[in-house]
Amino acid sequence: MLKFLGFVILVLAFGAGFSWLAERPGDLTIVWQGQQIEMSVMVAVTLIVALIAVIMFIWWLIRTIWTSPRSINRYFRARKRDRGYQALSTGLIAASAGDAATARKMNARAKGLLSADQEPLIHLLEAQANLIEGRNDEARRKFEQMAEDPETRELGLRGLYLEAKRLGADEAATQYAERAVEKAPHLPWAAEATLEAKMRLGLFDDSLKLLEQYRLSGAIGKDEANRKKAVLLTARAAAALDGNPKAAGDDAQHALRLEPSLIPAGIVAAKALYREGNLRKASAVLERLWKAAPHPDVATSYVHAQGSLTSDERLRRAIKLETAQPEAYEALYAVAAAAFDIRDFRTARDKAEAAARLDMRESVFLLLADIEEEETGDQARVRHWMSMARRAPQDPAWIADGFVSQVWLPLSPVTGRIDAFEWRKLERQAGTAIEHEPLTAEVAFLSLPPVNTPRPAAPTPEIHVFGEPEPSPKPIKTEPAPEPASAVNPIAKDAPEKTSARPTGRPAKPAQDEDESKSWAAVEPFFGRPPDDPGVKAPAAPATEDSKTRLKLF
């Protein structure tokens, strides 16, 4: 655009000049070697301009002829380079698509058209072709050659790192990443791999320094850097919690300032303050987290505190959580569990049922089953709650790359990623729940069977004196069903008369007891057998010859 404007301005200037000369006519006389030449001024200016143009053309023609060999050589060299780059581009596309034959063919053509020293991508194409063809050793050697060249060092180290990860050589992969991050800390793959390796080894100080270099390089944003730093500080605080609670508390509170929503940092900070005996400050930290987002780990840490609280104190702290978040499932469940610990079954049942109506989860139905077992002992109702627990969704947990953990971890045990764990609900596996009928409050509570019988009292254990042998268990007595009135019982007919005493400890009345024993024998038992306690037997009669062969029932 500027060239065009310049050309237009130049043409206008020439036109204006010639117009100015045309408006001011005049004659020009030149005397040269006795010759007198007369002409107008316009003709003289025109001749001068034409002479300059001829001189410029002659100069351009001479220059073109003089430099033509070099220009022709440069033309053919550029055409060859273009063909080489076209072959290189086609080869890289074929290598990415997995076409080993085309990649190898284009690599050979690119080598013939380009110089490998001038174009490092030829080495990359050759290494990619070797990888596709399964010649991993040759590819690794090519990557090592590239790693020695300052121009292709990062590219070669990246290839060596990926090969080491593919072979499962994590230590070698870490070394390649560390070499790359020394020269280029802005490389995301190298910085992430080095951070993960140092975190696995527990080198938290080195990890924080590397993260700071990574942030200063501009390859990571401020918010992401603060999040990762908070995770690293939380991990260091958790590791130092047992040995140095003061330092652990400082790191955890620093992490909370960087990332206020990081629940594990708040829990570690509260545990450190509990160990220092600062119950009020620890409770304040957990209360702030609870108001932001109710979490069962926060509720557990808040309710149990140092672990030395009584059951009543734990219930009061759980009720305080419910007051702050009355519509939270975690608050209702915490109150129900605390009430169950002190055997306040009414409160525990009310809060558990309210939590179940708020959110159907496995844990609340299991708690209801425990309450039912302890309060009523009704097995039908216990089985009902267990069935509801089987059908209900599982409770949320810390999940990273398909790995489920009940506690938060800074690294994923599957991939090693930092800050990979997320608190979310688990998905039921196929076939483990009834999918045709969704679980609702009506299904859970309206189908609850009524209480049939109260829970029987526990039997009183027998007390034995220490050192004495325990008595042998009494054999179970089985008695035949009573015969009809018309049947004749020879054993009862021939047996001597006996007197029995009532099991109340009162003085025995022989006549009355004899009548009652007859009535006991005449009445058919409710469960098809005589009562377990027939009464106290009378002293046995002296043995006779006939009684030696008779059967003794008692």
Inter-residue contact 409 to 398 (CB < 8 Å) = yes
Residue by residue, what is the 3-state secondary structure of 416-463?
CCECCCEEECCCCCCCCCCCCCCCCHHHHHHCCCCCCCCCCCCCCCCC
Looking at residue 457, its amino acid is A
DSSP string, 55-101: HHHHHHHHHHHHHHHHHHHHHHHHHHHHHHHHHHHHHHHHHHHT-HH
Q: Give average pLDDT by consecutive 10-residue segment, the chain, 554 residues.
A: 84 81 78 80 82 91 87 82 84 84 84 74 83 86 87 88 87 89 86 89 90 85 91 94 91 93 93 90 93 92 83 92 92 94 93 91 93 91 91 91 91 89 76 56 77 51 39 43 38 36 37 42 43 48 45 40
Would the CA dihedral through 471, 476, 482, 488 be positive or negative?
A: negative
Q: Residue 496 burial by CB count (10 A; 0-12/13-18/19+): exposed, middle or buried?
A: exposed
Q: How many residues does the chain have?
A: 554
Inter-residue contact 535 to 500 (CB < 8 Å) = yes
Give the CA count within 13 Å in the CB-facing half-sphere of 190.
Answer: 25
Question: What pLDDT score does 514 carry?
Answer: 43
Q: What is the distance between the alpha carbons of residues 140 and 130, in angstroms, rounded to a whole number?
A: 9
The owner of tokens 């030696």 is 548
Tokens of 35: 């010759």
Which of 272, 252, 275, 324 has the alpha carbon at shortest distance from 295? 324
DSSP string, 504-520: TSPPP-HHHHHHHHHHH
pTM of the predicted structure, to 2 decimals? 0.64
Main-chain phi, psi angles of 163, to 5 degrees: -65, -40
Question: What pLDDT score does 70 carry?
Answer: 84
Q: What is the CA radius of gyration of the chain?
A: 49
Question: What pLDDT score does 517 carry?
Answer: 41
Q: What is the distance between the alpha carbons of residues 403 and 397, in angstroms, rounded to a whole number?
A: 10
Question: What pLDDT score does 238 carry?
Answer: 93
How far is C-alpha 467 from the geometric centre of its chain's CA atoms? 57
Report the interhelical angle of 345-358 vs 362-375 (nearest 10°).
160
Inter-residue contact 178 to 194 (CB < 8 Å) = yes
Looking at residue 409, its amino acid is L
Give pairs for 330-334: CB < 8 Å, separation 24+: 330/294, 330/295, 330/296, 330/298, 330/299, 331/294, 331/299, 332/358, 333/296, 333/299, 333/363, 333/364, 333/367, 334/296, 334/299, 334/300, 334/303
Q: What is the distance between the alpha carbons of residues 444 and 353, in angstroms, rounded to a whole number?
A: 10
Would the CA dihedral through 502, 504, 506, 512 be positive or negative?
A: negative
Question: What pLDDT score does 429 carry?
Answer: 57
Which of 330, 341, 276 has the alpha carbon at shortest distance from 302? 330
Q: How far apart are the first and last CA of the chain?
A: 128
Question: What pLDDT score does 423 carry?
Answer: 92
In the chain, what is the greatest distance between 2 CA atoms, to the nearest angstrom? Answer: 193
Tokens of 231: 């995770």
Question: What pLDDT score does 454 carry?
Answer: 52
